[in-house]
Amino acid sequence: MKPAYKISLILIVLAVVAGAGAYWYVFLKPHQNLENTKPEFKLSSTQLFNDFTEDETAANARYSGKVVEVSGEVVAVQTGEQGTAIILEDELFGVSVYLDSSFVAANQQLTNQTATGQTITIRGKCDGMLNDVVISRAVIIQ
């Protein structure tokens, strides 16, 4: 084979591999794994709830869509068909945390042990506020 052919063949193979990589990266990229993501904010559930009640627009700009690490007292654990929710601070006006289903599957025991009255730390994505602050795709840190 002539060197020119060889080079172009190599280039074509490289282009295909790069294309496949780019496709995978852009179209099939996985969701962020929060167990290994550094949180942008670390705060208590009281602080987070107060920030949202004081100025929801500002709090949305600050926290919404970001990874937060929140500590607070568990007031309720709700396990439904779709997954597990942990409510911090207050049943209606607190922080509502929805656990990541794959985290729950891998940490069944830890999830089952979570009970009312405990103080826990979770890391998750802040989605905004309804009557409580909503955090999703969460993992239990402590």
Partner 1 sequence: MKTLVLSIFVILFTTGLFGQEIYFTKTGTIIFDSSTPLETIHAENNQVTSFLKTTNGELNFAALMKSFKFKNALMEEHFNENFIESSKYPKAVFKGQILNWSAINLSKEEAQEANVEGELTLHGVTKKISTKAVLNPQNGKIAGTCDFVVSAEDFEIKIPALVRDKIAKEVKVTVNVLYEPYSK
- In the complex, which residues of this chain contact partner 1 (CB under 8 A)? 26-32, 52-53, 56, 60, 64-65, 78, 80, 82-83, 85, 87, 91-93, 96, 98, 125, 127-132, 134, 136-137
Q: What does each C-alpha distance from 106 to 45, 67, 103, 138 come to in angstroms?
A: 25, 21, 5, 13
Least distance to partner 1, CB of residue 21, Å: 15
Nearer to partner 1, 5 or 27 (CB): 27
Amino acid type, 128: G
Tokens for 9, please give them: 């063949």
Least distance to partner 1, CB of residue 117, Å: 17
Least distance to partner 1, CB of residue 89, Å: 13
Nearer to partner 1, 19 or 65 (CB): 65
Nearer to partner 1, 8 or 53 (CB): 53
Q: What is the DSSP track for 84-139?
A: EEEEES-SSSSEEEEE-HHHHHHTHHHHHH--TT-EEEEEEEEEEESSSEEEEEEE
